[in-house]
Amino acid sequence: MMSAMHTPTLYRQWADHYAQAIHSGALPPGERMPSLRDLMARHAVSLSTAVQLCRTLEREGLLEARPRAGYFVRPRRPLASLQEPQPSAPDVAQYVGIHQRVSEVLALSQRYPAKVNLSGSCGAPSLYPGAALRLATQRALRAQPDIFSQPLAMAGCAPFLQALAQHALDAQMTLSPDELVVTHGCTEALTLALRAVAQPGEVIAVESPTYYGLLQILESLGLQALEIPASPHTGLSLEALEMAARQCPGLKAVAVTPNLHNPLGCVMPDAHKRQLLRWCQRHDIALIEDNTYTPLYDAGPPLAAIKAWDDSGQVIVCSSLHKILAPGLRLGWIAGGKWHERIAMLKYSQSRPNELLPQLAMTDYLSSGALPRHLSTLKRTLRHQREQMADAVDRLFPAGCRFSLPPGGMSIWVELPGELSSLAVFHAALQQGIRISPGVMFSNAGRVDHCLRLNAGLPYTREVDRAMHTLAQVIEHTLNQAPAGRGKATHA
Amino acid sequence: MMSAMHTPTLYRQWADHYAQAIHSGALPPGERMPSLRDLMARHAVSLSTAVQLCRTLEREGLLEARPRAGYFVRPRRPLASLQEPQPSAPDVAQYVGIHQRVSEVLALSQRYPAKVNLSGSCGAPSLYPGAALRLATQRALRAQPDIFSQPLAMAGCAPFLQALAQHALDAQMTLSPDELVVTHGCTEALTLALRAVAQPGEVIAVESPTYYGLLQILESLGLQALEIPASPHTGLSLEALEMAARQCPGLKAVAVTPNLHNPLGCVMPDAHKRQLLRWCQRHDIALIEDNTYTPLYDAGPPLAAIKAWDDSGQVIVCSSLHKILAPGLRLGWIAGGKWHERIAMLKYSQSRPNELLPQLAMTDYLSSGALPRHLSTLKRTLRHQREQMADAVDRLFPAGCRFSLPPGGMSIWVELPGELSSLAVFHAALQQGIRISPGVMFSNAGRVDHCLRLNAGLPYTREVDRAMHTLAQVIEHTLNQAPAGRGKATHA
Ligand SMILES: Cc1ncc(COP(=O)(O)O)c(C=O)c1O
Ligand SMILES: Cc1ncc(COP(=O)(O)O)c(C=O)c1O
């Protein structure tokens, strides 16, 4: 960046640097500029250079000064020639208390159209039994002509609860239909579990990194996330949990994804599952278990849920059919253990029971016996796609990148070399029409800011391959821009 | 589950697993066991283990073999002496913090089957365009074959948002589709509105009495309800609001149902609507407006929403198609005004976007132009039914009962003589198979404990008439049992 070919003045050099960051979107509209003190320290310049740098960018229309708050990247004005209305960056003040960083990344992802979306955690539509579910829906419509006109019973849809209880047996959970509540995806299940066991201000232990949706829920409910390091091989560190709990006596719950963790893809060994359960029982701490990906394990016999060993109602299971059967349906469920009644009432109070039609259609599908065959095809396809994507990372990404190859699911987790900012990569990739999930979303503690998650749920087409090439270049480029002493040099 | 303590044989372990599933009801009587092949694949066991597992359970009387069809869970033999299991009362400790009294009434209502349910606030199924919506659903299924397999876009379903914006014009609200968010009913809309504007511990002004669902939401979010008396003729008392606000400076929002209030049935005059809006604007207090019943007004030209006058984004509109079009669908919406972005993100974080199918079907229905005709029939029918029910109250209930005859909707609000406890009436009526909504649900302040709400949404059949006779007797009886100094004597 800082070529010395014709040595412009120092403030001009740095002004150009920031102008480029702004144009690239790395410093998005609305973003706060580093303070004058920060600029001085970062670039080893004098106060007057820092001031001149900011004033220059202000004159050029890139920054605006806000009284007592400093300089901010100016919201973009629509250019006359521009076709699509230029999407403005979200106003982050809107997201205070809903996890600002995660919300901002999500909102930006929404506003910039992506040609190739590698940010999700979901299979391609072709991997799901859409036609069978459509037929099942038509059958349900014929069987229950009154379906849209009957008010919904608080107790839910008995045949679907029954089908879910049966499905849960695959993960060795023996649940009675009347201890289940149907929810809007695992997301609502997690929301309800947390609302049931904790009050605002209280502390919940989570894996670090963890699913960003959980961080959003926690913060928006006013709960404190206590991040416990998770191993990419065995998940949550039980020693770290015990240590943390000793320092934080009011712990209300531990929320984990023991099987095919998002984003790491790891599986907690059965011995750890039992140990964690006993520990939670002993300390009367709720164990919130997210089983979203459990059926997608393909490296051996089916995985057991922690709930399989729960003899006291300490485990709240949250799950969903989203990832395995129907990304376009919001069918989740929760088994609340000893908090069941409370959770059922919170569900009623928050959104009322789920609609019947999708539940009846899914019951029809599940009882047709088609699930095992579908799952085995799905798992085979996902495995192949994971291998292809991991292979591309291996071939294309700069030296020093490391990646996971998990035993199921669709996520590839990539560690970038050095302390490269995944947020910079995210912004630069977005400019190229490629969407990824930057590591910063998965932890408050900054432990994985240099990582990113890729979705191997899509068939590895030419277009995806091209996107992987572009992404590799973006990473390379971002590496080269990283200040000396960080980035590739130290790791190549 | 698979503890290694005394390592039973493999088939015995799995036999125990299935025995437990059968006893818990997860595998119900008559259900087909997984095939031998399935068992082998699922549990990674040999054929002979799978066979032994099934034979063992057969011997133990849990399975039966059917020729060429496999093993089935054995049908339970009816027990000669057993009646219906006696429903146990809910454990109220479960509901601490979710409005214990409302939760208890709801839970009891669930457990005792009611022959005649007058507790709802909803029309009979025959009043709604179920067939048209079913056809619209089938069209949507044909038009979007991928509908269940595509992940849902965060931005929602554009044509439905468009249709809602157009529908909102009927209440004189000019809304752009991109300031709307689709929710799971008005219930989720209210939840989101409150989460967006207030933190736990903060205060929200509500009408007294008010819709019990709102009280549940408030308490479960840790918000304080400040009850402002509402007139049965003009709704919220603005003087009382101003006085209360002076004593309670941190007021965050006022939540009102200005049109066809639940339970009172009253309508706030337009002058009050404007005055309330200006007051909220002046004090920067959010105005949460519940418009659920607005289209059901039948005593003059359509009512305007408060939002119609909102020039600053101060009003958050919460509404739903539940009461006017489809009690079996959960289609609600929210227009968040200046809190829109925040509400959209909270919705994403709490439950993710709504499914597409009902939105597409409803878009189809709304754009067919059938709504005005449907509404006029619905309103005519509801008016007739309200008159019949009010007439029955007048004829049958003890002297001293007073009742509302609102200008739309389906609720009849009855004041019982003296200080008669509506909860006592509720319990006694439930014993007779009749469900009502007792006044205690609609206020924390005890102002309406002697009132009850009846649903005039059902056709006034012989059965309903008989129930009204029984209810009258129950009230009479409860009155006679009331302690001296309360009850009928003071009012006869
Ligand atoms: C671990 C985990 N839990 C929950 C969810 C959300 O599930 P649903 O779509 O069923 O709400 C996801 C989706 O990415 C996830 O990865
Ligand atoms: C005033 C009011 N608001 C909201 C609701 C709930 O609406 P929905 O069923 O759309 O969640 C009701 C239902 O009784 C109501 O009376």
Residues B300-349 pLDDT 10s: 999 999 999 999 999 999 999 999 999 999 999 999 999 999 999 999 99
Whether residue B303 is found in the same domain as residue B450 = no
B325 shares its domain with B382: no
In a domain, A91, yes or no: no
Gap between the Cα atoms of A184 and A328, Å rounded: 12
Asked if the model's pLDDT at residue B236 lies above 60, the reply is yes
Name the residue of A323, A324, A331, A411 to mutate for ligand 1: max ligand atoms within 8 A of Cβ: A323
**pTM score of the predicted model:** 0.86
Q: Which of A107, A141, A176 sits opposite B24 (nearest CB)?
A: A176
Residues of B in contact with A162 (CB under 8 A): 25-26, 28
| CA distance linking residue A456 with residue A452, whole number of Å | 13
In a domain, residue B82? The reply is: no
Pairing mode of beta strands B434-435, B116-117: parallel
> Do A358 and A450 fall within a single domain?
no
pLDDT at A419 over 60: yes
pLDDT band at A27 (very low <50, low <70, confident <90, very high): low
Nearest to B106 among A195, A348, A372 (CB): A348
User: What is the mean predicted confidence (pLDDT) over B75-97?
Assistant: 62
pLDDT at B88: 61
Q: Cα separation of A386 and A383, whole Å?
A: 5
pLDDT value at residue A219: 97
Residue B120 in contact with ligand 2 by CB distance below 6 A: no
Q: What is the pLDDT of residues A125-148, one digit of tens each?
A: 999 999 999 999 999 999 999 999
Of all residues in chain B, the one with the smallest CA distance to A217 is B349
What burial letters (b/e) apply to A449-483, b meaning 16+ CB within 10 Å? bbbbbbbbbbebeeebeebbebbbbbbeebbebbe
Question: pLDDT band at residue A35, thresholds of 50, 70 and 90?
Answer: confident
In-domain check, residue A79 = no
A122 contacts B145? CB cut-off 8 A? no
Same domain, yes or no: A301 and A212: yes
Per-residue pLDDT averaged across A485-491, rounded? 38
- Give φ, ψ of B14 to 5 degrees: -75, -30
Q: Which of B221, B227, B160 is nearest to B195 (CA)?
A: B221
- Give yes or no for B174 touching A (CB within 8 A): no
Write down the pLDDT at residue B335. 98
CATH of the domain at B418: 3.90.1150.10
With a pLDDT cut of 70, the percent of chain B lying above it is 94
Q: How confident is the model at residue B157 (pLDDT cuts 50, 70, 90)?
A: very high
Query: What is the predicted pLDDT for the residue at A31?
Result: 76
- Has residue A93 been placed in a domain? no
**A9–B contact, CB cutoff 8 A:** no
**What is the per-residue pLDDT for B121?**
96
B486 occurs within a structural domain: no
Report whether pLDDT(A265) > 70.
Answer: yes
Question: Which B-chain residues 116-135 have CB contacts (< 8 A) with chain A?
Answer: 120, 122, 125-131, 133-134
The Å distance, Cα B288 to ligand 1 centre, comes to 31
- Mean pLDDT is lowest, of A90-94, A395-399, B98-102, for A90-94
Q: Are residues B150 and B293 in the same domain?
A: yes
Which position has the token pair 């890139």?
A62
Q: Which of A371, A394, A427 is the last residue of a domain?
A: A371
Q: How far is CA B200 from the centre of its chain?
A: 23
Identity of the residue in B141, B145, B147 whose CB atom sits nearest the CB atom of A138: B141
Q: If you average pLDDT over residues A112-132, what whole number do you get? A: 95
Looking at the structure, tell me whether residues A330 and A385 fall in a common domain.
no
Mutate to test the pocket of ligand 2, among B106, B211, B215 (most ligand atoms within 8 A of CB): B211
Pairing of strands A253-256, A286-290: parallel
CB contact under 8 A, B148 and A128: yes
- Say if the Cβ atoms of B222 and A216 lie within 8 Å: no
Can you tell me whether residue B398 is helix, strand or coil? coil
Mean pLDDT of B237-258: 96
Closest ligand to Cα B192: 2
The string of pLDDT tens digits covering residues A50-99 is: 888 888 888 777 888 887 788 888 875 433 222 333 446 678 889 999 99
Question: Is pLDDT at B77 greater than 80 in this prediction?
Answer: no
Q: How many domains does chain B have?
A: 3
Instruction: pLDDT band for A25, please (50, 70, 90 cuts).
Output: low
CATH of the domain at B228: 3.40.640.10
pLDDT band, residue B91 (cuts 50/70/90): confident
**Contact in structure between A426 and A22 (CB atoms under 8 Å):** no
Q: List, in sequence order, the alpha helices (H) in A415-488.
A: 422-431, 462-481
B146 and B67, same structural domain? no
pLDDT higher than threshold 50 for residue B3? no
Pair B193, B334 in one domain: yes
- State whether the beta carbon of A294 lies less than 6 angstroms from ligand 1: no
For residues B435 and B339, state if they share a domain.
Answer: no
Per-residue pLDDT, B80 = 35
**A249 and A259 fall within a common domain:** yes
Residues A356, A391 share a domain: no
**How far is residue A130 CA from its own chain's centroid?**
25
Instruction: Answer whether residue B491 is part of any domain.
Output: no
Q: Which of A354, A371, A388 is the last residue of a domain?
A: A371
Looking at A55-69, B174-188, B210-224, B336-350, which range is the least confident one?
A: A55-69
Residue A263, preceding peptide bond in cis (omega within 30° of 0): yes
Q: What is the structure's pLDDT at A113? A: 82
Is the minimum CB–CB distance between B112 and chain A shorter than 8 Å? no
Q: Hey, CA dihedral for B279, B282, B285, B286, is it positive or negative?
A: positive
Least confident of A30-34, A387-391, B173-177: A30-34
Q: Identify the bridge partners of residue B63 per DSSP, sorted by sequence position.
A: B73
Quote the pLDDT of residue B426: 96
* pLDDT tens-digit series, residues B260-303: 999 999 999 999 999 999 999 999 999 999 999 999 999 999 99
**Across-strand partners of B204?**
B225, B253
Residues 6+ positions from B282 with CB-CB distance below 8 Å: none
Name the average pLDDT for chain B: 91
Q: CATH no. for residue B8?
A: 1.10.10.10
ipTM summary value: 0.89
Which pLDDT score, from 0 to 100, does residue A316 have? 98
Q: Residue B350: which of A170, A191, A348 has the nearest Cβ?
A: A191
Structural domain includes residue A82: no
Residue B341 lies in a domain: yes
Domain coverage including residue B49:
2-73
Give the pLDDT score at A3: 39
> What confidence score (pLDDT) does residue A21 get?
67
pLDDT range class, residue A355, cuts 50, 70, 90: very high
Residues B379 and B363 reside in one and the same domain: no
Domain stops at, among A355, A371, A387: A371
| Cα angle value A389/A394/A395 (rounded, 5°) | 95
Share of chain A above pLDDT 90, in %: 76
Q: CB distance from B421 to chain A under 8 Å?
A: no
